[in-house]
Structure 1
């Protein structure tokens, strides 16, 4: 007869968790969007209450000056302090004494990593929602916004010169669609007095797919998307490729739940996701007479757009 007690079961679970964690943290989830969309900053102390940063803006303009004058034009730097709170969230998994006992009966048996993988998946989905909209899937609101809905970013409707005075790309010609996109990119450049240039364009999945499927014209074997990659304001000025991505959640991110496109510069000086403590599992512990929990915790400050002029939203597409 095989006998065991709670301490043996706990010791068995502890011995298994290191291997389980190594497996699940190596899993890549291709439909998790945020790591490719913005820089993730893990540099802060994991237990910090907040992250402090300073934004600066240069003021002053050179002007003509008489050598006998005393009111020389002066330049200065305006500096503002900002504090970003860091909050904790959690997701773990559980085993029962019966499950551990059955696994211990067969020497060399390893516990499945499925539950740990499910916990990590839940963490990634939480962070994805937080990064994009500031609201994770569970809907608990902290008053944060995200990459696609920051109120400090300039947003506006695209031109309503489609058929029937429509703003929708479905009612526009390829030329009009390309015009809308380049107007958004140019808006970042001009709106920042040529300081900022958007190197990334985010599109709703359906709009991205339509651009990839629709010919540039009736006489072309090039799609609108292929043409756009070669012919856009950013590439024309810098010679560098424009990053274009399809992103879930943009279908109703605009004003009045309209579809939205986003142009921005993907740079940690412009935008970052604060994640001082990425998800980690803690040591297993008994949580009841017959249950053992493996807690998982993480701490984040959400998305911080430091330079809103390097962003622009285009709605109604």
Structure 2
């Protein structure tokens, strides 16, 4: 009888293999998905020495001339009192938080893992990179409760409205109307300056849009139809970019599903990030240790008025 061990030799990844056993050498990593690099632009001017990332918003005030302070600035050739422009600059910012992990192994583990074709150092590096991506994914979308910072899906100051009904109980026209409503809300809040170009929805609603057929020929889904049949396309000239985000599941008030309309442009929203760096390998007896570090900021909503949320879809 062939026996199979259930544990590796220490952490080197060496197994007992029977004569008639065919072990697949492919390394199968955990099933993890992250989409933050797709949905937000980076602010890359920050460095490891910075402790905060900040920005400013400027407002202007200008009064009309004469008896109508809200009118145009007409003047006469002999005017002595001419109105001017006032400038107000407000600064906002968030801390840059230091992130770090240490990788370590013994020279014995390293040699054993290399001999069986599964280098322990590269596998641990894969694990570190995965944790880095997962932490960034959470930071971008929902922020961090411990640090009291928000993400793209739960920013303070962004208007939140409720859907008339869930999409599962809505017709195709009602779904289109709810999407046009969230786009119109953001457009109105921005003084009819910016119509969002991007729409984030939970995975279940994304699947629903993909499965509803709106063409009599049966060759067009509601998802494809909506990309060019909303005010976003007709105002911006580009299809509405609809994408699924797992963090929007039960992200709304009362555990409802949330929809986010925004414009994926660093002019309006961005994410400051200091890429991973490392220190030289340290040797302690049989151990080899290396530390990786970087800095994670928080979503910077330069223009909050260009975003809009809808709960209960």
Per the normalisation by structure 1, the TM-score is 0.79
CA distance in structure 2 between the aligned counterparts of 1:75 and 1:237, rounded to whole angstroms: 31
CA distance in structure 2 between the aligned counterparts of 1:71 and 1:39, rounded to whole angstroms: 47
CA distance in structure 2 between the aligned counterparts of 1:301 and 1:242, rounded to whole angstroms: 28
Q: Among residues 232, 235, 255, which one is paired with 2:233 in the alignment? A: 235
Equivalent position SS for 2:299: strand
How far off is 1:102 after superposition? 4.0
Please identify which structure carries the higher helix content.
1
Q: Structure 2 matches for 1:43-54, cutoff 5 A? A: 43-54=45-56
Q: Among residues 281, 291, 307, which one is paired with 1:295 in the alignment? A: 291
Equivalent position SS for 1:185: helix
CA distance in structure 2 between the aligned counterparts of 1:184 and 1:103, rounded to whole angstroms: 54
Q: Is the 8 A contact 2:197 2:236 kept in 1?
A: no
How far off is 1:76 after superposition? 3.1
CA distance in structure 1 between the aligned counterparts of 2:125 and 2:217, rounded to whole angstroms: 54
The structure having more radius of gyration, on CA atoms, is: 2
What corresponds to 2:91 in structure 1?
81
Q: Among residues 194, 197, 207, which one is paired with 1:196 in the alignment? A: 194
What corresponds to 1:155 in structure 2?
160
What corresponds to 1:278 in structure 2?
275
CA distance in structure 1 between the aligned counterparts of 2:296 and 2:267, rounded to whole angstroms: 18
Per the normalisation by structure 2, the TM-score is 0.79
How far off is 1:132 after superposition? 0.6
How far off is 1:57 after superposition? 2.4
Unaligned runs of 5+ in 1: 1-26, 161-166
What corresponds to 2:171 in structure 1?
173
Q: Among residues 270, 294, 306, which one is paired with 1:310 in the alignment? A: 306
CA distance in structure 1 between the aligned counterparts of 2:161 and 2:252, rounded to whole angstroms: 9
Deviations 1:88-133 (A, max 9, x none): 01123221242135468x7x99665111111111111011001110
Instruction: Give the CA RMSD over aligned residues.
Output: 2.7
CA distance in structure 2 between the aligned counterparts of 1:144 and 1:31, rounded to whole angstroms: 23
CA distance in structure 2 between the aligned counterparts of 1:239 and 1:87, rounded to whole angstroms: 39
**Equivalences, count:** 275
Q: Among residues 131, 138, 163, which one is paired with 1:122 in the alignment? A: 131
CA distance in structure 2 between the aligned counterparts of 1:69 and 1:206, rounded to whole angstroms: 65
| 2:38 equivalent to 1:40 | no
What corresponds to 2:220 in structure 1?
222
Unaligned runs of 5+ in 2: 1-28, 65-70
